[in-house]
Amino acid sequence: MAGSPQEGRLPEVRFLTVAEVATLMRVSKMTVYRLVHSGELAAVRVGRSFRVPEHAVHEYLRGAFRESA
């Protein structure tokens, strides 16, 4: 809808650092980097570092859980 207050705004997304993702998933930072580089885990490059949307971590873990069940 043209002219709406929401126009052009991104939904609120919480971004995590690679270290935070590693802690959350209880894996090494290198494992997180491998997931990002392989495309299995969505991330945004900010300068020389990556930021991972929190929802992407939850989606990845849900998918991994379904595959193992």
Task: Round to whole Å and give the CA distance between 15 and 52.
Answer: 5
Task: Round to whole Å and give the CA distance between 54 and 61.
Answer: 11
State the chain's maximal CA–CA distance in angstroms. Answer: 47
Give residue 50's pLDDT. 97
Give residue 37's pLDDT. 97
Model pTM score: 0.78
Query: Exposed, middle or buried, 20 (CB in 10 Å: 0-12/13-18/19+)?
Result: middle
In this prediction, residues 9-21 reach a mean pLDDT of 90
Segment 27-65, tens digit of pLDDT = 999 999 999 999 999 999 999 999 999 999 999 999 887
